[in-house]
Amino acid sequence: MLQIMLPASLICEDPNSPAATTTQSAPPLPAVVTGKVAFYAARYFPDGRKQTEVQHGPVTERLPLASAFKTMLLNAVLQDVDAGRLHLDQLFETTDANQSIEDFPPERVNSLDSLADVMIRRSDNTASDILHLAAAPQRVAELTTQLSPCTHLYLTTKAFWAALSGLIPDVIDPRTPETLRNSARAYAALPAGEKRDVAARINTLTQHVHQQQVYDGLDTYFNGPNYHPENDVSLLNSSTARAYSDLLAQLFLHSTLQPATQQRFRDILATGCCTKPSEGVPFPYRYWGAKAGSGWRLLTMTGFMELPDGSGIAYSYLNHESDVEDAEEIENQIRPVLNWIVSAITPIT
């Protein structure tokens, strides 16, 4: 059991992040938004330049990504396809070991390509976990760290919820609010190599936990004394608003995928939430890929828009500690927030 008591630093600045030429403040947030909000968007060019950036809030503070991490996971899976370790037509079975919470693929056996599609289009957690395990979480974590040192992608969805729920007591001690918070901090503070090893243990132990146990454990956790928003940052996959936007720009403008897999990456992300603002888009663009996420007091919206000149806008909206607790209720904010994002990035197009 982890014993380190010091919290991991929540501030992360990537020294390799390109500097923008100018900085603008974002407009006022929609009235429905509460809690901590970090928003970062910038115009990126294929030659590596970053032009004007728009920001709001603590853009260098690590915050939970919720399901927005699945964009990076999809890229990592397709890297394995290019390497021959995985294949788009490879079949995977949904089992008690890999089934996460919420809906899961309707067929018991699905192809990798089908799982990749529903992981983004429907934000299917079981599809995400099956692919995450197939790509090897330790390798996914290492690739993510290489591309974006401030982005932490170590655990499957079932694993981080099981850890929050107190179902992995050998690593995350749930006996009291203090022991849970301190052991989660200890895990988060580990150096990358050690953290990959401990995360591998959590991911393995989670496969012995049934989906219903996770549901029950989360109900107890979120409605009981053990809940603390810091645990989200410690255990969920996380990044900073600036770092994740920089990462998205890399994945789209400087992809190392083969042309066919890069096209599949773009096609799948084009089905993600959310790309249809009710107030329209007042500037021309030729592509928009996106991925959102939600959770307890948590809403994230991320994406990349390709402009006619070949440059692109990458953006990350991370809202944590909202006054709105229920995930389904906070999703009612998606439409006003999406309209706000468009208004925030319009001046830099």
Which stretches of the chain drop beneath a pLDDT of 50? 3-6
Residues 238, 247: contact at Cβ < 8 Å?
no
The pLDDT of residue 16 is 84
The pLDDT of residue 15 is 87
Q: What is the pTM of this model?
A: 0.96
Q: Which residues pair with 296 in a beta bridge?
A: none
The pLDDT of residue 206 is 98
Residues 218, 102: contact at Cβ < 8 Å?
no
Other beta carbons within 10 angstroms of residue 271's beta carbon come to 15
Residues 86, 134: contact at Cβ < 8 Å?
yes
State how far Cα 120 lies from the chain centre: 11
- Residue 101 corresponds to which amino acid? I
Q: What is the pLDDT of residues 140-173, one digit of tens each?
A: 999 999 999 999 999 999 999 999 999 999 999 9
The pLDDT of residue 10 is 86
Residues 73, 119: contact at Cβ < 8 Å?
yes
The pLDDT of residue 8 is 52
State how far Cα 30 lies from the chain centre: 23
Q: What is the pLDDT of residues 37-92, one digit of tens each?
A: 999 999 999 998 999 999 999 999 999 999 999 999 999 999 999 999 999 999 99
End-to-end CA distance of the chain: 50
The pLDDT of residue 109 is 97
CA 201 to CA 199: how far, in whole Å?
5
> How far, in Å, are 99, 117, 165, 181, 251 from residue 113 at the CA level?
18, 6, 31, 38, 19
May I ask the CATH architecture of the domain 23-348?
3-Layer(aba) Sandwich (3.40)
- Look-up: residue for tokens 């402009």? 307
